[in-house]
Amino acid sequence: MTDIILAINKVPSERFDVYVVGTNCYGELGLGDLTKKAEMKRPVLNSNLDAETTGIVHLAVGGIHSAALTHDNRILTWGVNDEGALGRDTKEKEAASDDEDESDDEITLNLSEATPTPVDASHFPENTTFCQLAASDSATFALTTDGLVYGWGTFRGSNGAIGFSLSSKKEQPTPVLVPLVQDVVNIAAGAQHILALTSSGTVFSWGCNEQNQLGRRRESRHRKSHNILPEIVALPSGIRDIGVGIYHSFAIHKSGTVYAWGSNNFGQTGITMGAGLNDSNVPYPTKVPLLRKLGVIVSIVGGKDHSIALTETGKCLIWGRIENKALGLKLEDVHSSNIIEDKHHRPRILKKPHFLTGVGDDTSPVVFATAGSDHSFVITESGKAYSWGFNSQSQAGQVDIDEIERPMLLQSKYLEGKKLVAAAAGGQFSILLGKHEGLLKKKGRRNQRRIAQVTLNMF
């Protein structure tokens, strides 16, 4: 008699238009041979990921690679595969240029990496169905409808690769089942660590723990190698959502309490303890009381040194590092008592979460927020996207501005009249998802107001 496995996770089904922007030096934008440009200054439609033929329903972005789930249950990957993050063989000679006078801003790519290509389905058991993806800097993970997690790539620490499992291999080039964790309903990836939320409200973590981003109870020295295997995070039961920054982590309890842990040298956890000190971190999950006073938090994410929380009323809260313009705030709008200065008396850290102004209102609240290393996006209910932060390689999608202090409307001829629903920010590139009205009209569907769940990555 065959065991019946019940699905605990729903499969996303709405197909999206995919827009890409930023650096394309290593094929991060998935444009393949569509362009030789090393950088896209404004968002462009990626026809390699066409809504009607390819049908992307979910997307995850890492530091320099991406993964997407299609409507027919394929996992496509593209970008840098140096440590097996794409989960497939990408050996190929670089595409030769046919232009002897090639411009300085044109590039030569390995098209096997630069073109979205499926991971071989034979690595998974028959009838495996995927519902969510997550991408770290050097690994990719896939969640199934029955709550199992598969992964490939590696984890890295300050001294290089630390491995993917307890085997002797430093890299896992093809997908394998992640052991010791099941009944998972949500996964989230930082630069080098993973969180998994189970149906019972328990959180597991694994990966690199150099900044205490795993949030586990203190371990004896001989167990350090076990960090790359899932283990329970030191949290109370009843967690309803998780979020990550590059080197820090968050969990939202069903009571509304937010917990944070990990890197905190810029106060990015929302906990003032240690903010402003080099190599400061919060060693275990700790309540963030400042957020509880500012509204009911429904989602929370982080960049490298800053974080963003979204309230149930569609307002954004932001805090962390000031001088890299990642906060989207003007200093004159912040009281000096909420700022930590450096030794030269220059504003360095916003230690108290502040509401982001200039985006979202009662008629069109913010419904989505995400952060890259030093840049961020929010999207309003009306489908407008705003970005700010570091933009030296156009990763925030604004033209000829290296640092964007305040949120700016994202504009492109490809976005005119379009409704965006989600974004994912890599190290120096970003990808956005938008409603594909043509497909909806052809099938006679109603225009649903639904937001895609997109994994950040943190990079």
Phi and psi, residue 223, nearest 5°: -100, 5
Q: Between 294 and 226, whose confidence is greater?
A: 294
What span, in angstroms and rounded, lies between the C-alpha atoms of 421 and 385? 8
> In this structure, what DSSP letter does residue 4 have?
P
* Amino acid, res. 216: R
CA geometry: angle at 263 spanning 375 and 216, to 5°?
Answer: 130
Asked whether the predicted pLDDT for residue 197 surpasses 90, the reply is yes
Handedness of CA 371, 27, 34, 389 (dihedral sign): positive
Is residue 224, in this structure, part of any structural domain at all?
Answer: yes
What span, in angstroms and rounded, lies between the C-alpha atoms of 77 and 112? 10
Is residue 450, in this structure, part of any structural domain at all?
Answer: no
Residues 6+ apart with CB under 8 A from 143: 9, 130, 131, 132, 133, 134, 149, 184, 186, 187
> In this structure, what DSSP letter does residue 291 have?
H
Highest mean pLDDT among 9-23, 271-285, 341-355: 9-23
The DSSP annotation for 26-45 comes to TSTT--GGG--BSEEEEEEE
What span, in angstroms and rounded, lies between the C-alpha atoms of 378 and 337? 27
414: phi > 0 → left, psi -120 to 50 → alpha, else beta; which? Answer: alpha
Token pair listed for 424: 């994912």
Average pLDDT, the chain: 90
Number of folded domains that form the chain: 1
Is residue 84, in this structure, part of any structural domain at all?
Answer: yes
Task: Give the residue numbers spanning the domain of 156.
Answer: 16-442
What span, in angstroms and rounded, lies between the C-alpha atoms of 253 and 297? 10
* Amino acid, res. 238: G
> In this structure, what DSSP letter does residue 1 have?
-
* Amino acid, res. 51: A
What would you report as the CA-atom Rg of the chain, rounded to the nearest whole angstrom?
21
Is residue 436, in this structure, part of any structural domain at all?
Answer: yes
What is the per-residue pLDDT across 405-427, written as a single tens digit (0 to 9) for each? 999 999 999 999 999 999 999 99
Helix (H) / strand (E) containing 437: helix 437-442
Asked whether the predicted pLDDT for residue 439 surpasses 80, the reply is no
Q: What is the CATH number of the domain that holds 172?
A: 2.130.10.30
Residues 6+ apart with CB under 8 A from 405: 325, 328, 329, 330, 388
Is residue 330, in this structure, part of any structural domain at all?
Answer: yes
In the numeric block, the tokens 């954004």 are attached to 316
Token pair listed for 236: 């109370």
Q: With bands split at pLDDT 50, 70 and 90, how would you rate the model's confidence at 452?
A: very low
Asked whether the beta carbons of 326 and 320 are under 8 A apart, the reply is yes
Is residue 3, in this structure, part of any structural domain at all?
Answer: no
What is the per-residue pLDDT across 278-327, written as a single tens digit (0 to 9) for each? 899 999 999 999 998 899 999 999 999 999 999 999 999 999 999 889 99
Is residue 80, in this structure, part of any structural domain at all?
Answer: yes
Asked whether the predicted pLDDT for residue 105 surpasses 80, the reply is no
Is residue 451, in this structure, part of any structural domain at all?
Answer: no
